[in-house]
Amino acid sequence: MKKMFSEEELGSLRGLIGLTFQYLAGPGLWHALTGTSVYIVCDNKTLGVQAFSDEEEVQGEWEDFSRLQLLPVTKEEVEKCVQEGFAYRKHIGEIVRGVFVIVDEIIGELDNIKNFDYKSHSGIFLKFDTGYICIAKHDHHQPVIKVTYLDDSSKELMPYTHGRFDEDLNQKYYVERNLMELSSKS
At 58-67, the pLDDT tens digits run 777 777 888 8
Neighbours of 79 (CB within 10 A): 12
pLDDT digits (tens, 9 = 90+) for 72-124: 999 999 999 999 999 999 999 999 999 999 998 888 888 888 888 889 898 99
**Higher confidence at residue 39 or residue 153?**
39
Q: What residues pair up with 107 in beta bridges, in sequence order?
A: 117, 174
Q: Which amino acid is at 58?
A: V
Which pLDDT score, from 0 to 100, does residue 186 have?
43
Find the length of the chain.
186
Contact between 21 and 94 (Cβ < 8 Å): yes
